[in-house]
Amino acid sequence: MTSAFFAVILLSVSSDTLSSEQHEQPVFVCDEDIDRADITGVERELEDRLWDETLSYLRGVRDVLTTPAGCLDGPRAVTQTLNDAQDGVERRCITRYRDVELMIKHLDAVLEYPEAARACFDNQARYEAFQLYSPNAEMVAADPVATWINRPTLEDYYTDRDDEVGEAGRELAAHFEILLANTVSEHTVGSDVTFNGLPTLWRSVGWLPFYAESESGISPRFRGGYTYAEVMGPWGLLRIKSIDGETVGAEIGMTVQLGDTFYPYHYHHPQEWYITLTPNACVHGNEFAVMFWDNPAFNQIRRERGWRVEVPADDADMRFIEQGVEQDWLTYFERNAIHAFNVAGSCNGEPSGLVSIWARTTARDNDQTTRMCVVADSEGNLPIGPGVGFICELDDWEY
């Protein structure tokens, strides 16, 4: 706490005028683990570049959430790929959700007072909570900021791993830049927030091979072929605990999922949204499913302080819809909504994969754990995919 308050005081006394604006400047309280080591002039210039692209990314996110696209004050999002009536897709205006309103409000504060917010910025070169990675040596060498931060690479991480997870991880690392480059964001807002527009950010942010060591991801190809990065949030580059005493629940980053992988059904207390950046080049394309945990298509059984939810193997076609830049590029998952991503295989021999903007809105309440569903019939020999039955054990949450 001490260092967070110290930063705020420093910023106040360094302002040389007492304008009326100064009185309105919100109080940013940072997380305690911000690295405050002194950096030299050249390093400061490099960090400035990362900070500038961080702000551009966050501005793009704020703009997409506030630009009318199917709703008067913002975009329309898929909230269920099969509605409760079992007769179609359910879409809602995303700004109707209070957690999204708060995310927009906090992004506005950051973008309006970037100098104050920067006290909570950390390039995470010496991040201690867990190891973060750059994709590969080529991408590091291509960017002076990534070279300066000098994270270990996913390429090295998977080098000696002699299993299917390692094989997929090496494929992901080798094709990383191609996957990132094959993206667009004009369908969301005017600015280019993809790798093509913000190459320093995408090369320098810390990536996490989230399922590499976790068998809960089930399929080895998915476990090695998935990674995500966090730009803002409790574990990201910009770590703001509160603004004017209000908890900042925003967690904003990006995900990459290699082609020909199935991200099994999962769920969590924090709400989540995704924006698709990869064009849908394949005939069958990328698909996803999201449904409220109490959707009648599932079987719900009450247990102590929670629910057992059975996802049937049948009728998977009804639950999965295509996502792409032309249609349904935004999805919003309510608390404990059960969701899965089925990413198509390669098209015409080109490496394929799904790149998305990813966010959670309440990253500082309840249980943040991503909970995986398990295969219902573990004796079955079907390949893991949409046509397999799953069981999800949901816990109640508290407000």
Q: Note the residues at the interface with Zn ion (CB under 5 A).
A: 272
Q: Is 60 helix (H, G, I), strand (E, B) or coil?
A: helix
Q: How far is the CB of 152 from Zn ion (least distance, A)?
A: 26
How far is residue 90's CA from residue 244's CA, in Å, rounded to a whole number? 36
Question: Least CB distance from residue 228 to Zn ion, whole Å?
Answer: 10
Q: How buried is 61 (Cβ within 10 angstroms: 0-12 exposed, 13-18 middle, 19+ buried)?
A: buried
**Residue 151 or 360 with smaller CB distance to Zn ion:** 360
The CB-of-85 to Zn ion minimum distance in angstroms stands at 24
From the number of C-beta atoms within 10 Å of its C-beta (0-12, 13-18, 19+), residue 378 rates as exposed
SS3 11: helix
- Pick between residue 200 and residue 295 the one whose CB is nearest to Zn ion: 295
Select 51 or 358, whichever has its Cβ closest to Zn ion: 358
Compute the residue count for the chain: 399
- Closest approach, Cβ 233 to Zn ion, in A, equals 14
The order of strands in the sheet holding 28-30 is 28-30, 240-243, 246-247
Q: Which amino acid is at 121?
A: F
H helix or E strand, kind and range, residue 341: strand 338-343
Residue 54's contacts (CB-CB under 8 Å, 6 or more residues apart) are 121, 201, 231, 232, 237, 238
76 or 371: CB nearest Zn ion? 371
Nearer to Zn ion, 166 or 225 (CB): 225
Pick from 249, 207, 209, 213: which is nearest to 229 by CA? 207
- 274: three-class secondary structure by DSSP: strand
**Minimum distance from residue 337 beta carbon to Zn ion (Å):** 8
In the numeric block, which tokens belong to residue 251? 């967690």
Closer to Zn ion by CB, 138 or 395: give it. 395
Among residues 195 and 358, whose Cβ is nearest to Zn ion?
A: 358
Helix (H, G, I), strand (E, B) or coil at 351: coil
CB of 111 to Zn ion, least distance (A): 26
Instruction: Give dist(CA 235, CA 251) in Å, integer.
Output: 8
Q: Please, what is the Cα angle at 294 between 292 and 300, to 5 degrees?
A: 135
Closer Cβ to Zn ion, 272 or 287, answer by number: 272
Quote the least distance from Cβ 287 to Zn ion, whole Å.
15
**Minimum distance from CB of 253 to Zn ion (Å)?**
12
